[in-house]
Amino acid sequence: MRKKRVYLDYAAATPLDRRVAKSMRPFESEKFANPASVHNEGIVARRVVAQARTEVARLLNVRSEEIIFTGGGTEADNLAITGIVEKAREKGIAAPHIITTNIEHPAILETCRRVTKWGGSVTFVPVQASGLVDPKHIAAALKPETVLVSVQLVNSEIGIIQPLRAIATVIAEYKATHGDTLSAFSELGYPYFHTDASQAPNYLDISFQKYGVDLMTLDGVKIYGPKGIGVLAIKRQVAIAPIIVGGGQERGMRAGTENVPAIVGFAAALTRTVQLREKETERLRGLQKYFIQNLKENFPRNVSIINDDCQKSVPNNVTICVRNGQEAELLVVRLDALGIACSAGSACTNLSTATYSYVIEALETASLSVLNDCKSSSIRFSFGRGTTRRDLDLTLIALRSIIK
């Protein structure tokens, strides 16, 4: 077995940045007080949380009171969907309607399916063969009961960047042209627009104004921050109910003692990510093109590149379909034995009972068999700050040994 391990699963988890770890350390052992306490130590902790909130808000170009710290990206997604549906029912919408796509993160899809058990309804808009959703299809699915549209900015599995601004425009046009129909709930601003942007900060501007969204999910583990911390940014006018109760923390939106070290770490990680964004994007785009070109030259008949158009995806993602009869999980295991860590789709999906990629299945359906039989044999390589050309060369060598 090769001594050097090559980690190409940064879309699943990133290592904790050393600078971030250093910023967290004092609040793990020395300054450990509960921010809700009224003594001096508690006031210090509360002030630190407020500073972190202000910094995150500045980077997202929102107000500090619009930042809610959560236990991770999955919790933030659950809060966005469940919280809006619950508040809509309180306001008299008996059967709230949600629109999303058929390739969203499991945290979105599973929460939406739960909404249907509560009497709500969901439209899963199909994507095109490229993985992009057509904003016109979102527009066609809108109706008076629609309270939320949720579309992931960057797909977790194939790295495709969705046209959020265009989607925001069709939502705004719908509101403007259906004022009479929506009059009963117009003061609430439905439908709201949410995006899970967890995969985006390393490579894309995440300003609210750029995308026209009302809510945004971020996750610390994707930006070289600590695990177990996320953010749901919510515009002040959004009517939403909490899903975790038992205290008044986070404007009453998320009960429980604040995780001060993780909050400090999240703010530090996001700040560092924004600082490195332009340089890392350029560097990884070069590695992405290098890897794709070598895959095409070395495996012209055995490998198809799912996200071949680099301009439509983030620069750290290369997803391939291996056409040699081996299933994705076996390919990942064989690569792991050769020292290469990659994944068969989203890490969260891998924990389910599914043996194929629902994202690739959606692309196959849209492509009319152009990507036939890829849903069970697609693997994702995702790069990060530690990735070098040498890592990719070692990966290509390993692939040659298992793809005949």
348: annotated active-site residue: yes
Helix axes 106-117, 73-90, angle to 10 degrees: 30
Length of the chain: 404
Question: Which residue out of 310, 321, 348, 374 is catalytically annotated?
Answer: 348
The strand pairing partners of 138, in sequence order, are none
Q: For the chain, report the end-to-end CA distance as a whole number of angstroms.
A: 20
Buried b (16+ CB within 10 A) or exposed e, 40-74: eeeeebbebbeebbebbbbbbebeeebbbbbbbbb
Catalytic positions, written as ranges: 348
